[in-house]
Amino acid sequence: MPVAARARFFPLFCGAEARNQLEIQRCHTLSKDHIAKAKTAMDKFLQSVESNPHRRDAAEPCYSLHEPGDLVYGTALVFHGFGQSPQQCQLLADYLFDNGFNVYQPCLARHYLGNPTLNWPQVDLKPELKEKIRQNFLKDPVLAKELYISAEDTMQRVRSLSPEMSDMIAALDQGDCSQDFQRFFESSHLDYFTEAEQRLEEVRALPGPIFAIGISMGGATALHLANTYPDTISKVVAYAPLLKTMDDARREFALAIGPLDVKETGWEPSLQFTVGCLVAIDLCGTRVSQSNIDNLAKKVATLLLFTANEDSADLPTQEKFAQRLKSISSDGVPHLHYTYRRELEVPHAMIHPNERPIANKLWRRMYQETFRFLTTGKARQDELDSLRQDETLPQVP
C-alpha cells in the first residue's frame, strides 16, 4: 500500500488516558529500554523452550517487535487453539504487526512440547480410584474398541464401571469448584490460565494498551485474561471460543473416559494425547462461561465471532455468554458478537483461510474488522460475510 494511503493510521500524538479509550491512535513510541525489558522477559521463556528435550518441532512461541522510535498502537497477545501452534495464527499476527501492533504469540500451556500425554494439561482420576476403573474399561468388549459413543448402551456400560461413575461424570460436568471434583480428580487444567498470565507479565514493559486475541481454547484463554486483569487488557477478540465442547452425548462420554488414560489422535498423525487433555480444555471453558464476568462485562470491550458450522465448541453456550456480557455491561463498553450462518461455510478454526475440512473464504474481511475493533471499539458486523475488503482499512494481502 502506498505510504500516502496509510497516513490516516499514523497520528502524531496520544490523547490522555489512551489505554482506556475505545478509539486509539498509533502514537506510543517504542524506546530501546521498552524493547530491552520485554525481550529479556520473553527471551528467557523462549530459551527455556529451546533447551527442553521434549520440544515440539515448529511449535515454538514467537514475537514481532517494531524498532526503537517507531509508533505503535500497543501489543497484541495472540493465542492459538488446542493441539495447534502459533503457526495457526501467523497470518493474522503478520497483518497486525504490519499495521502498527507489537505481537507476541505464546503457546497454550506446554503446547511447545511433544508427547502430550506426558506434558500437556489434563484431568486424571486419583490413583486409588483410577487403576481398578481403567481395568474394568479395558475388559469391556465394547468400550475397549470404541473411543466415542456408537451404541445405545455405551453410557450404561461406562456408568457400570464403578458405583461412583455417575458422581464423577456429574462433578466434571459442573466444573472444577465442587467438593466432588476435589475428591475424585487430580488436574493440571488451570495451567492454561496460569501460563497465559505469565506470558502477559512478559509484555507489560511495552508501551500502549494490551489486547488479548485467541481462537477456540485460545479464545477462552483471552477472555479469562481480560476478566482477571481488566485494567491491563484493553480489548478482546475471541474467534469460536471454546466455552463448552459440543454434542452433549459425546461430551458426556469424553468426560467419563477422559481420566482413564484413553488415547486420541490429534490433527498431526504423530500427535497422540489422552482424552483427559480434552476434558481439561472443557473444564477451562466451563470455568470461563460460569464465572462472575462483571470485570469483563463492565471494563473490557469484546468482539466474539461464532459459526453455525461448529465441530468443536457448543454454539448455544457461546451465544448465551455473549448475551450475558451485554446484560451486565456498563455504558460505553461495547460487546459485539456475530454468528456466521451455516451456508457461509466458515469453520470452527476460522482464523486461517486453509484450515480443514472447509476453508474460510471470509478471512480477509474478518482480519479487517478485527483491526477496526482494536483501534476503534467498533466492527461492521453486517460486512463480516463480505468477500470485499474495506478500502478505508489496511488491506489484507
pLDDT digits (tens, 9 = 90+) for 306-337: 999 999 999 999 999 999 999 999 888 999 99
Indicate if 242 and 325 belong to the same structural domain: yes
- Complete DSSP assignment for 214-263: EETHHHHHHHHHHHH-TTTEEEEEEES--SSBS-HHHHHHHHHHGGGT-E
State the Cα–Cα distance between residues 80 and 88, nearest whole angstrom: 6
Indicate if 43 and 74 belong to the same structural domain: yes
3-state secondary structure of 212: strand
Please give the tally of structural domains in the chain. Answer: 2
Pick from 390, 308, 388, 384: nearest CA to 346: 308
Cis-peptide, bond into residue 357, ω within 30° of zero:
yes
- Complete DSSP assignment for 194-217: HHHHHHHHHTTTSSS-EEEEEETH
Amino acid at 139: K
Is residue 228, in this structure, part of any structural domain at all?
A: yes
Is residue 18, in this structure, part of any structural domain at all?
A: no
Indicate if 346 and 315 belong to the same structural domain: yes
- Record the cell numbers describing residue 265, joined without a space: 489422535
Q: CB 260: neighbour CB atoms within 10 A?
A: 22
Is residue 296, in this structure, part of any structural domain at all?
A: yes
Indicate if 59 and 201 belong to the same structural domain: yes
Q: Read off the pLDDT of residues 292-311 as tens digits, 9 standing for 90 and up.
A: 999 999 999 999 999 999 99
Is residue 265, in this structure, part of any structural domain at all?
A: no
Residue after which a domain boundary falls, among 187, 202, 223 = 187
Pick from 255, 248, 243, 249: nearest CA to 167: 255
Indicate if 231 and 105 belong to the same structural domain: yes
Is residue 253, in this structure, part of any structural domain at all?
A: no
State the Cα–Cα distance between residues 58 and 62, nearest whole angstrom: 11
Q: Residue 12 has what pLDDT?
A: 38
3-state secondary structure of 71: strand
State the Cα–Cα distance between residues 238 and 300, nearest whole angstrom: 13
**Which CATH number is 361's domain given?**
3.40.50.1820
Q: Read off the pLDDT of residues 220-261 as tens digits, 9 standing for 90 and up.
A: 999 999 999 999 999 999 999 999 999 898 899 889 989 988
Q: For residue 179, which phi and psi values (nearest 5 degrees)?
A: -65, -35
Q: Residue 147 has what pLDDT?
A: 55
- Asked if 212 and 77 touch (Cβ cutoff 8 Å), the reply is yes
- Asked if 19 and 207 touch (Cβ cutoff 8 Å), the reply is no
Q: Tell me the residue range of the domain where 97 lies.
A: 28-117+190-247+274-383
Indicate if 67 and 54 belong to the same structural domain: yes
Indicate if 157 and 237 belong to the same structural domain: no
Indicate if 299 and 359 belong to the same structural domain: yes
Indicate if 172 and 309 belong to the same structural domain: no
Q: Residue 4 has what pLDDT?
A: 30
3-state secondary structure of 288: helix
**CA 60 from centre of chain:** 17
Indicate if 311 and 332 belong to the same structural domain: yes
Q: Residue 331 has what pLDDT?
A: 83
Query: Do the bridges between strand 101-105 and strand 62-64 make them parallel or antiparallel, or are there none, so unpaired?
Result: antiparallel
Is residue 326, in this structure, part of any structural domain at all?
A: yes
Q: CA–CA distance from 64 to each of 28, 31, 44, 236 (Å)? A: 16, 15, 16, 19
Mean pLDDT (the chain) is 91
Query: pTM for the full model?
Result: 0.93
Pick from 31, 94, 27: nearest CA to 64: 94
Residue after which a domain boundary falls, among 145, 170, 187 = 187
Low-confidence stretches of the chain (pLDDT beneath 70): 1-20, 146-153, 265-269, 356-357
Q: Residue 156 has what pLDDT?
A: 87
Q: CB 51: neighbour CB atoms within 10 A?
A: 8
Indicate if 134 and 204 belong to the same structural domain: no
Indicate if 96 and 240 belong to the same structural domain: yes
- Asked if 384 and 366 touch (Cβ cutoff 8 Å), the reply is yes
Per DSSP, the chain holds a count of helices (H) and strands (E) of: 15, 13
What interhelical angle do 275-290 and 191-202 show, nearest 10? 70
**Chain position carrying cell 484450515:** 355
Amino acid at 111: H
- Asked if 241 and 220 touch (Cβ cutoff 8 Å), the reply is yes
Give the length of the chain: 397
Is residue 347, in this structure, part of any structural domain at all?
A: yes
State the Cα–Cα distance between residues 103 and 179, nearest whole angstrom: 40
State the Cα–Cα distance between residues 123 and 193, nearest whole angstrom: 15
- Record the cell numbers describing residue 314, joined without a space: 457448543
Residue after which a domain boundary falls, among 170, 187, 204 = 187
Is residue 129, in this structure, part of any structural domain at all?
A: yes
- Asked if 252 and 155 touch (Cβ cutoff 8 Å), the reply is yes
- Complete DSSP assignment for 269-287: TT-EEEHHHHHHHHHHHHH
